[in-house]
């Protein structure tokens, strides 16, 4: 499933990725890794402010970015059952 959103360069806000449908009944998220790339180059420190686990979701606080660029945010989780799941979000930065 394609997840996308658009933000302005000065905006800072949280986006949520829900892994609930992937988890078994009593399974929980144990760890998460969040990274961002721009054309294959690491841009994590440029556009990711922080990330946290809340139940079956990972909350990512995004920041900054350069107008006209689309960043790929990749979220990878490891669960209490040692399953590993990954999903991506495309963040497009534009000045409106």
Summarised one tens digit per residue, pLDDT across range 58-67 is 999 999 999 9
Query: What does pTM read for this prediction?
Result: 0.94
Mean pLDDT (the chain) is 96
> What's the rounded mean pLDDT across residues 29-49?
98
pLDDT at residue 86 tops 80: yes
> What's the rounded mean pLDDT across residues 47-70?
98
Sheet holding 41-42, edge to edge: 4-7, 84-93, 70-79, 29-38, 41-42
For residue 92, how many other CB atoms are within 10 A of its CB?
Answer: 14
- What is the SS3 assignment for 21? helix
- What is the SS3 assignment for 3? coil
pLDDT at residue 1 tops 60: no
Q: Which residues of 52-85 are buried (b: 16+ CB within 10 A; e: fewer)?
A: eeeebbbebebbbbeeebebebebebebeeeeee
CA dihedral 26, 85, 16, 53 (to 10 degrees): 50
Q: Is the dihedral of CA 42, 45, 46, 51 positive or negative?
A: positive
> What's the rounded mean pLDDT across residues 31-59?
98
Which architecture characterizes domain 4-93 according to CATH?
Sandwich (2.60)
pLDDT confidence band for 96 (50 / 70 / 90): confident
> Domain extents for the chain?
4-93
pLDDT at residue 3 tops 90: yes
């Amino acid at each position: 499933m394609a997840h996308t959103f658009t933000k302005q360069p000065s905006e800072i806000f949280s986006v949520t990725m829900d892994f609930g449908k992937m988890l078994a009944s009593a399974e929980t998220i144990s760890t998460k890794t969040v990274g961002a790339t721009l054309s294959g180059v690491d841009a994590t420190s440029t556009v990711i402010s922080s990330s946290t686990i809340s139940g079956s979701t990972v909350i990512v606080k995004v920041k900054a970015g350069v107008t006209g660029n689309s960043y790929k945010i990749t979220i990878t989780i490891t669960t209490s059952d040692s399953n590993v799941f990954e999903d991506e979000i495309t963040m497009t930065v534009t000045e409106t």
